Amino acid sequence: MSATTPWFGTPRDPGVVPIKKNLFEEVIHATGDLELVPVFPYLGDGAIVPCLSYAMGGGGAKKFQFFHANDVPEVMICLSEHNSALRAGMLMSFPDLHGVNNFLKDVDDEDAYMLVVVAIRMREGAQHEGFLMRCRECNEPVFRLDRDIKEGPERPYYPEFYALRLYADAVDQFNASDRTCAKCGTVQEPFPQDQLGWKRYARQVELANRARAAVEAQGV
């Protein structure tokens, strides 16, 4: 078994069964803004992966903006919102390169939120995504990290959606750089890694698998 051939198979496998989920209840399990929580555990080739994503105002939340590049189009539907640039029922198909932010009109408004589902198709073979940052003054690209999101650490028990590890690693690398725009010299603000759930998600998937392996090794 390799990291690109998950044990849990694809939607075409007979062992894959329908699962009923309450998307509003799933918010409880999210760990940060725009985490992209996979709703179902089917992430193999051919799967359509709906991911829950939210943003909330207040609590020191910061406005942020990055750009996302991908090989496969993504579709987003807004489930619910308050004081957001999105509207409930709004359906969007994103181009291969698009901007991403928390879509809130006022990040200081504790009642502001948006709740969406982003559907991603997992095609056969390599599937590349990129995380880009542009200068806040002149819009010049200042950072980019690309990766095949089919590749990642082996997870024998619980699957990992490797795209979130790309985002987490990209933010760490961007924040560790000098973040100076080569065109206009503006130093970019650090990206609010702690506000988003990408790094926590990757760590928690690792923990879940490590803890399960320890129990299995004890024959419990």
Is the predicted pLDDT of residue 17 greater than 90, yes or no?
no
Cβ burial of 216 (10 Å; 0-12, 13-18, 19+) is exposed
Instruction: Return the pLDDT at 219.
Output: 77
pLDDT in tens, 134-160: 999 999 999 999 999 999 999 999 999
Domain positions in the chain are 23-217
Instruction: Tell me the average pLDDT of the chain.
Output: 90
pLDDT in tens, 21-58: 999 999 998 889 998 889 998 888 888 999 999 999 99
Confidence of residue 14 (pLDDT cuts 50, 70, 90): low
- Tell me which fold the domain 23-217 belongs to: Jelly Rolls (2.60.120)
DSSP character string of 91-146? EEEE-SEEEEE--BS-TT-TT-EEEEEEEEE--SS--EEEEEEE-TTT--EEEEEE
Is the predicted pLDDT of residue 209 greater than 80, yes or no?
yes
pLDDT in tens, 94-137: 999 999 999 999 999 999 999 999 999 999 999 999 999 999 99
CA distance linking residue 116 with residue 128, whole number of Å: 23
Instruction: Return the pLDDT at 12.
Output: 55
3-state secondary structure of 215: helix
State what percent of residues in the chain have pLDDT above 90: 80
Instruction: Return the pLDDT at 13.
Output: 65
Q: State the pTM of this model.
A: 0.87
Q: What is the CA radius of gyration of the chain?
A: 18
pLDDT greater at residue 211 or residue 16 = 211
